Structure 1
Amino acid sequence: MTNSENQNILNICFNQDSSCFAYSGNNGFTVYSCDPFRQSIKRLFNGGIGIVSMLFRCNVMAIVGGGENPEFSPNKVIIWDDHSQKSIGELSFRTQVKSVKLRRESIIIALEHRTYIYNFSDLKPRNTIDTRSNPNGIVSISIISNSSVVATLGMNKGIVRIEHYQLNKTHIVEAHDSEICCLNLSNNGKYLATASVLGTIIRIWDTYTGEKIQELRRGTEPATIYSLVFSQDNKYLACSSNTGTIHIFKLKTDRDRFSELYNLSKIKDNVDNSKSSLSLLKGYLPTYFSSEWSFVQYRTKHTKIFVSFGKQNNKLLLITDDGFFYKISIEFENNICKCVEEEQYKFS
């Protein structure tokens, strides 16, 4: 997230496993642990930090200058060692850096018209991907070590490019008719969620085949989607938008017993997405009537929210651009699913 309405927060994001989050502003950056909620790092600078990207809970992170008085050039990615509190490397570009993603072995950097992939160990380039105009730095990566998948914008409107580096395979997906607004890979890179600038429809793709496996409806009115997040076992998807409502969907994925093995599935298995009573007439009525809707929602007073799952499927974490953190529990009572606020903190 960039260009927040709150001038004290220029960027805010979870780390890869959502065990903590970082926000940056006009005089530095701060890192908070999520469970328990507490401030773990605070670094002050004379200038602004526009992007801070963490690598799990490692002391090495990537930062980019930002704001009215940047601490570093917005055209540079600074590799920051927080243990020694100094830069240990940098990558420079001719244009502004829009976003940075980290894996243990690589750094992915999105500029407006190009995405670069570098080795983390020696900062040498590995690949370059040309994209459509990408002012928001839309890019996603898988995070587990045995899967190296990158999803970027394609060269044309509504197109997504999926790179499977270990399989040496590329898929070009015609995801939407309108411009892409948000996309995100599952942790293992097997699934991709996409949404367009209309924000009404979310599509789920199999990255190994490039085929669509599910279509979900957030709503009927346009909205700006800020996050699409898979649960750790890929059984559920959470979505946040400028409407202030969090939507949770059940997914049609193979699930491969990951949930049972790690005791993640605290949501009853018989839950299902909502559908129109006319869905049986699919093929005869407009697609609206056969859409799958979220099985539970949580409404907030905020308009820019980023959501993630906690360690278990029935726990949600929310961070907002006006400086609030929430822990939400998904609960069943009398066969009704609902979201309940457990904790709330003001961090900025």
Structure 2
Amino acid sequence: MNLARRTVSSTRPVNILHVGLDPDSTIFTASTPAGFAVYRTCPLSLIRKRELTGGTLAAAVPLHASSLVFLLGGGRSPLYPPNKVVFWDDVLGTEVAELEFRERVRGLACRRGWLAVALRRRVVVFELGEQVSRFGEWDTSDNPRGLLTLATGVYATLLAIPGKQVGHVQLIHLPACVPPTTLGPPSSSPPRKPPPAPTKHPISIIAAHESALTTLSVPPSGKLLATTSSRGTLVRVWDAVSGKLVRELRRGTDKADIFGVAFRPDEHELCVWSDKGTVHIFNLVVSSGASNRQSTLSSLTPYIPLPKYFESEWSYAQYRIPTQSAHISLSATSIRTPTPEVDEERCVVGWIEVPGKDGGALEYQLIALTYAGGWYRLSLPKAATTTSTSTTGGSPPRQRASSSSSSAAKGKGTDTVEKQSRKCVLEEFRRFGRWDGWG
């Protein structure tokens, strides 16, 4: 019997009810039966925690990096009625306001000065100032997931909600998001100017899917919109002004429950994650970075009437979240190998900017936060060079074409091919929650 293969600890597994990233992915909140805590996303550190007694929370949604957190009661013993949104100021340590509805609150989205609340068949928007005032209300189709999304960039206006018909998306333009208030001396760079007004009136309805929507996502600018449906195989990216389909990306062929889609802030890439436990990364800019994978028959589609499947773009890189043991050691380096008998962990994924190696330029990486308390920092795959040498006077060895090859350079008697790895690199793994002494 080999007892060295597993490390058993008396520590009970953490029970996280909700994980929520702020719109800029700089902080995140974690809700457990003991209360909620606020963490810095990277480097991971506990900012503050709040013990709450008398009930549990369904969600704690942060408003950027401010002290304001929106709380929803839920679970077996809700701390607040499920039809209320409670405004909690964590510096004061008390409730400062609340919104009450006639039905259960399904979802929240916020940005500076604004809060959108999703109910079963409508979305209500509030303006946050000295007073909380009701701005508007829109009807939706049946929306049990509480889907809605807000563009949070400077001067962004977009609010996307389900339309009145199943699979449709309604686009609403709110007053522009104001720049955040800067602390300290004023910046030497000139202030950012508002973008020019669109020449055409933005479209208001997009017929995105035939089946029910499962996610809605927009980048900070609000120029694009990503949608997924209950089939869970495709991610469609739309131009939020013209309503035209920009890209159609394939997560897989089997049905899945897609949990979320996140745009890279510069809109060059997006990532998708689902109940399969895998994070997929797609390139959105043809002229830069790695190429999405495609079928070898895709080049024949203009000439032969092949099924649309052969035109699909597949992710150029993935990462599979390891399954965690029910009893896990306190060592930050112990990661169990996934086993097919156990479901993969549910997670939330966001984009961050970190300095490159040896203090180089900033680069984008991913943060995956699991509901079991796992914190994963992932870097995107780099091109690896492989070299093969042919014999003098003979023919060089044949290279199989790769859809993920980024470039190829040939020298005398030597073929050098740069191939893009399809796996993200785990740069760092840590834990949050009870392992920080919370609870």
TM-score by length of 1: 0.90
1:305-342 deviations in Å (ceiling 9; x for gaps)? 21111116541100112221100111313232331111
1:72-129 deviations in Å (ceiling 9; x for gaps)? 1111111111110111111100111111111111111111111110011121110101
Partner of 1:331: helix, strand, or coil? coil
Question: Any conservation in 2 of the 1:204–1:212 contact (CA below 8 Å)?
Answer: yes
Q: Does 1:345 align with 2:430?
A: yes
Choose between structure 1 and 2 for higher RCO, CA contacts under 8 A separated by at least 6 residues.
Answer: 2
The alpha carbon displacement at 1:131 in A equals 0.9
Distance, in Å, in 2 between the alignment partners of 1:16 and 1:106 is 12
Out of 214, 231, 252, the residue aligned to residue 181 of structure 1 is 214
Q: Does 1:45 align with 2:52?
A: yes
Q: 1:17 to 1:270 in 2, by over 3 A?
A: closer
Question: Any conservation in 2 of the 1:163–1:170 contact (CA below 8 Å)?
Answer: no
Higher strand share: 1
What is the correspondence of 1:298-337 to structure 2 with a 5 Å cutoff?
298-301=319-322, 302-311=344-353, 314-332=364-382, 333-334=384-385, 335=418, 336-337=420-421
Q: 1:50 to 1:270 in 2, by over 3 A?
A: closer
Partner of 1:124: helix, strand, or coil? strand
Could you say what the CA RMSD is over the residues aligned between the two structures, in angstroms?
Answer: 1.8
Letter in 2 for 1:150: L
Runs of 5+ consecutive residues of structure 2 not aligned to the other structure = 1-12, 176-196, 323-343, 355-362, 386-417, 434-439
Out of 284, 289, 310, the residue aligned to residue 251 of structure 1 is 284
Distance, in Å, in 1 between the alignment partners of 2:166 and 2:249 is 21
Question: Any conservation in 1 of the 2:223–2:239 contact (CA below 8 Å)?
Answer: yes
Task: Determine the structure 2 residue equivalent to 1:264.
Answer: none
Larger C-alpha radius of gyration, 1 or 2?
2
Q: Does 1:192 align with 2:242?
A: no
Distance, in Å, in 1 between the alignment partners of 2:127 and 2:364 is 36
Distance, in Å, in 1 between the alignment partners of 2:380 and 2:270 is 13
Question: Any conservation in 2 of the 1:202–1:215 contact (CA below 8 Å)?
Answer: yes
The alpha carbon displacement at 1:25 in A equals 2.4
Question: Any conservation in 2 of the 1:248–1:295 contact (CA below 8 Å)?
Answer: yes
Distance, in Å, in 1 between the alignment partners of 2:253 and 2:202 is 36
Partner of 1:298: helix, strand, or coil? strand
Question: Any conservation in 2 of the 1:163–1:169 contact (CA below 8 Å)?
Answer: no
Question: Any conservation in 2 of the 1:241–1:303 contact (CA below 8 Å)?
Answer: no
1:191-248 deviations in Å (ceiling 9; x for gaps)? 0001101110100001111111110011101111111000010000100011111110
Q: 1:118 to 1:238 in 2, by over 3 A?
A: same
Q: 1:136 to 1:270 in 2, by over 3 A?
A: closer
Out of 277, 281, 294, the residue aligned to residue 315 of structure 2 is 294
Distance, in Å, in 2 between the alignment partners of 1:294 and 1:194 is 16
Distance, in Å, in 2 between the alignment partners of 1:300 and 1:105 is 35
Distance, in Å, in 1 between the alignment partners of 2:20 and 2:77 is 21
Partner of 2:132: helix, strand, or coil? coil
Out of 265, 276, 286, the residue aligned to residue 232 of structure 1 is 265
Letter in 2 for 1:318: A
Distance, in Å, in 1 between the alignment partners of 2:35 and 2:213 is 31
Task: Determine the structure 2 residue equivalent to 1:21.
Answer: 28
Identity, % of aligned positions: 33
Runs of 5+ consecutive residues of structure 1 not aligned to the other structure = 1-5, 254-267
1:276-327 deviations in Å (ceiling 9; x for gaps)? 1111122510111010111111112333121111116541100112221100
Distance, in Å, in 2 between the alignment partners of 1:105 and 1:170 is 25
Partner of 1:288: helix, strand, or coil? helix
What is the correspondence of 1:245-284 to structure 2 with a 5 Å cutoff?
245-252=278-285, 269-282=288-301, 284=305
Return structure 1 stretches of 4+ with deviation > 3 angstroms.
166-170
Task: Determine the structure 1 residue equivalent to 2:391.
Answer: none
Letter in 1 for 2:248: E
Partner of 2:214: helix, strand, or coil? strand
Distance, in Å, in 1 between the alignment partners of 2:280 and 2:116 is 29
Partner of 1:177: helix, strand, or coil? coil
Letter in 2 for 1:151: A
Task: Determine the structure 2 residue equivalent to 1:34.
Answer: 41
Question: Any conservation in 1 of the 2:347–2:369 contact (CA below 8 Å)?
Answer: yes
Question: Any conservation in 2 of the 1:27–1:49 contact (CA below 8 Å)?
Answer: no
Task: Determine the structure 1 residue equivalent to 2:69.
Answer: 61
> Which stretch shifts more, 100-109 or 233-242?
100-109
TM-score by length of 2: 0.72
Out of 234, 245, 249, the residue aligned to residue 216 of structure 1 is 249
Count matched residues.
329
Q: Does 1:124 align with 2:106?
A: no
Distance, in Å, in 2 between the alignment partners of 1:270 and 1:237 is 13
What is the correspondence of 1:85-96 to structure 2 with a 5 Å cutoff?
85-96=93-104
Letter in 2 for 1:123: V
Letter in 2 for 1:241: S
Distance, in Å, in 1 between the alignment partners of 2:429 and 2:376 is 5
Partner of 2:310: helix, strand, or coil? helix
Q: 1:7 to 1:299 in 2, by over 3 A?
A: closer
Distance, in Å, in 2 between the alignment partners of 1:76 and 1:64 is 7
Letter in 1 for 2:291: D
